[in-house]
Amino acid sequence: MLLRHAKAEWSQDSDHERPLADRGRQEAPLAGRRLAGVGITPDLTLCSTAVRTRETWKLVVSELPQRPRTLYDERIYEASLGELIAVLNETPEEVRDLLLVGHNPGVHALADALAGEADGDILTRMNRSGFPTSALAVLTFDGAWKSVEHGVGRLVDFWAPHA
């Protein structure tokens, strides 16, 4: 599962330190309810160290039936597609369901690259929306995390607050 952080404020702080805007604080719990609604609780969440992703995750996880183990990884902040795939490749094999909380353009590029197949018009809807803040993509694949690469997944759900 891939989640883009909720809407952040524009501030004088460094980009890494930007907090959520009011809209982000309202939409992040909706993303959490959507995640709970798909019936998948992550075994592990990998979250960027940026303030807005950590705040998003705190609001999302409060909507889940149980809190997964969470690792904050500075590599996710401003990560390229290749860097995000490398992070996924390091996921321990005992992890079945993983959530990555990150930023665009990397999260959108990752969802698009992994989706070798998609149910219905989900891929079209995701790409048309541009993967807005608080958007969630759910992909499935068979195999080991170390074998995650372009086209291995199936996009089975995409949700965004206003899509």
How many domains are there within the chain? 1
pLDDT of the residue at 11: 79
pLDDT of the residue at 163: 65
Low-confidence ranges of the chain (pLDDT < 70): 163
52 labeled part of a ligand binding site: yes
Domain encompassing residue 61: 2-159
pTM for the whole structure: 0.96
Query: Any idea which residue has 């070798």 for tokens?
Result: 116
Q: Give the domain CATH number at 131.
A: 3.40.50.1240
SS (H, E, C) the chain: CEEECCCECCCCCCHHHCCECHHHHHHHHHHHHHHHHCCCCCCEEEECCCHHHHHHHHHHHCCCCCCCEEEECHHHCCCCHHHHHHHHHCCCCCCCCEEEEECCCHHHHHHHHHEEEECCCHHHHHHHHCCCCCCEEEEECCCCHHHCCCCCEEEEEEECCCC
pLDDT of the residue at 6: 98
pLDDT of the residue at 40: 86
